[in-house]
Amino acid sequence: MSGTTLALDPVTVRKARSLARKAGRPIVRLAQQHTTVSVERATLRLAGLRGADPDGTPWVNRLVDAVRADTGIESGVSLPVWDALVRGDAADLEELATKAAVGSVRFRVPGGRDATRARSAASKAVGAGIRRIDARRRERERLVRRWGDAPQTPWIYLIVATGDIYEDMPQAQAAARAGADVIAVIRSTGQSLLDYVPEGPTREGYAGTYATQENFRLMRAALDQTSAELGRYVRLTNYASGLCMPEIASLAGLERLDMMLNDSMYGILFRDINPVRTFVDQRFSRQVHARAGIIINTGEDNYLTTADAVDAAHTVTVSQLLNEFFAKEAGLADWQLGLGHAFEVNPDLPDSFRLELAHAMLARSLFPDAPLKWMPPTRHMTGDVFRGYLLDGFFNLVGAMTGQSILLVGMMTEAVVTPWLSDRDLALQNVRYVMNACGNLHEDFHPPPDGFIATRARQVLAESVELLEQILDHDKGLLDAIADGTFGLMKRPTDGGRGLDGVARKADVYYNPATELLEPTR
């Protein structure tokens, strides 16, 4: 990745990463020791189970719930499910789910030769799904070679989501023709709290469009058509977060999405999802993303919507370091780490622009090989559209000066009204003007080593080290820090939040072919 970097003290940088590893390792062990209903449902989706009952409840939910009622999920659902199939209780997964939904089949955890046969059948079925994800990754690579890629960074990232997938598609295509390199279809408000993934195409949603496999397929096909027309591959983004994070990640891999919102703590802090549920789900989802060649986007920008961007700048850096550790532990490479940061300093504060430069350069310097995602101003937007347009111009200028990789287009009516299409076009004009005018300005921008920007960056890094040390001083480390409101001023206890009842500690006989196939090799 290009961009001027600051000469940070390498000893301090190594210490920060070492502390992040120490804080993250107990969380990884926790994730390895537990499973969730969503991990088990994702496994069935990888094995090819699709569809829903007449009431709209997905068959994966029906089947996992039935197994859970008979055996629990401590051993996983794979052994009971494929034991039933091998014994001839049903011809395939959908028939088994149909029977299970009406109570006409019972499940057990098999042993001996029965367990061996069930393992073999489960591994074959789930392995086929993993191979499909591998094929979709190779397909992306072929299409990028055929059509070409965005000519330069930053990639211009634009949100399109009307609630109606059939309206989203032409809008997304228009946005790509206007210069967007990445189209993000944000989810309908509240979907992260649904413990199921809706089935089929959707035509209504509030402030977003539902994430479904069919919606993924439709939008990917529309953008492929436009990519061929434009001669550059247009990337598609959605959200792998909330109570169905592993399932949505799996569907994204199967339908060749290119980026996914996938933060390790966002659901905990801003959706009150149980911490254990979230950390277990995020590890599995990141293993899927690693296999699929998907770039993740993390959510540090959200901290600055609830906490002050200057006072809490170090919490963003700490979260980035933790997200980096969790991602790499799950198998993601540097080029897949779209770590988030944002332009959210109060513009009325003296030297606000210099502070933004310092924070952006710190992120760029700490993660020089990662495609950072630079987020526009939202918190301090008002009804003054002229001021908003100017703020977005300043945001774009910081992106150009610091060599950011993924730039989310800011709109002058952000946080005031649902933007008009004309607002989006003006926002893209703003980006194009700044990027064209600045060119490779980051090559010429070298803040003095003892100046305001470098000094501020060192201060934030030092505060980050101090916070990581404080986290490690807690009895339960990061879990206690989250409970204390360390991030985003949100207090989330380990034994609280949504989805806790869907978590189970793994039994000694636990088996899941997906986790075996996805586990990164060391």
Set 196, 233, 266, 511: catalytic member: 266
Averaged pLDDT for residues 367-391: 92
pLDDT higher than 80, residue 522: no
User: Which pLDDT score, from 0 to 100, does residue 3 have?
Assistant: 54
Set 301, 303, 328, 511: catalytic member: 301
Q: Is 124 a catalytic residue?
A: no
Quickly state the pLDDT bin for 476 (edges 50, 70, 90). confident
pLDDT higher than 70, residue 472: yes
Q: What is the dihedral of CA 30, 33, 38, 39, to 10 degrees?
A: 120
> Mean pLDDT over all residues of the chain?
94
User: Which pLDDT score, from 0 to 100, does residue 307 have?
Assistant: 80
Q: 34-36 and 503-505: which strand pairing? A: antiparallel
User: Which pLDDT score, from 0 to 100, does residue 43 have?
Assistant: 98
Q: Which pair of structure tokens corresponds to residue 197?
A: 């993934």
157 Cβ contact partners less than 8 Å away, ≥ 6 residues apart: 180, 181, 182, 184, 237, 373, 406, 407, 408, 409
pLDDT per residue as tens digits for the range 505-516:
999 999 999 999
User: Which pLDDT score, from 0 to 100, does residue 22 have?
Assistant: 97
- What percent of the chain has a predicted confidence (pLDDT) above 70? 98
Set 99, 328, 373, 506: catalytic member: 373
d(CA 334, CA 318): 17
Quickly state the pLDDT bin for 98 (edges 50, 70, 90). very high
pLDDT higher than 70, residue 358: yes
pLDDT per residue as tens digits for the range 154-176:
999 999 988 999 999 999 999 99
User: Which pLDDT score, from 0 to 100, does residue 1 have?
Assistant: 46
pLDDT higher than 50, residue 215: yes
User: Which pLDDT score, from 0 to 100, does residue 520 have?
Assistant: 75
Mean pLDDT: which of 175-189, 259-273, 411-425 is highest? Answer: 175-189
Q: What share of the chain is helix, strand, coil (3-state, %, to 5)?
A: 55, 10, 35
The secondary structure of 437-502 as a DSSP string is HHTTGGGT----TTSHHHHHHHHHHHHHHHHHHHHHHSTTTHHHHHHTTTTTT----TT-SBTGGG
Averaged pLDDT for residues 357-380: 95
User: Which pLDDT score, from 0 to 100, does residue 507 have?
Assistant: 98
d(CA 503, CA 507): 12
User: Which pLDDT score, from 0 to 100, does residue 153 have?
Assistant: 79
Domain coordinates in residue numbering, the chain: 34-126, 148-452
Q: Is 157 a catalytic residue?
A: no
Averaged pLDDT for residues 12-29: 97
pLDDT higher than 60, residue 2: no
Quickly state the pLDDT bin for 151 (edges 50, 70, 90). confident
Pick one of 3.20.20.440, 3.30.420.40, 2.60.40.790, 3.40.50.720 as the CATH number of 148-452. Answer: 3.20.20.440
Q: Is 266 a catalytic residue?
A: yes
pLDDT higher than 70, residue 72: yes
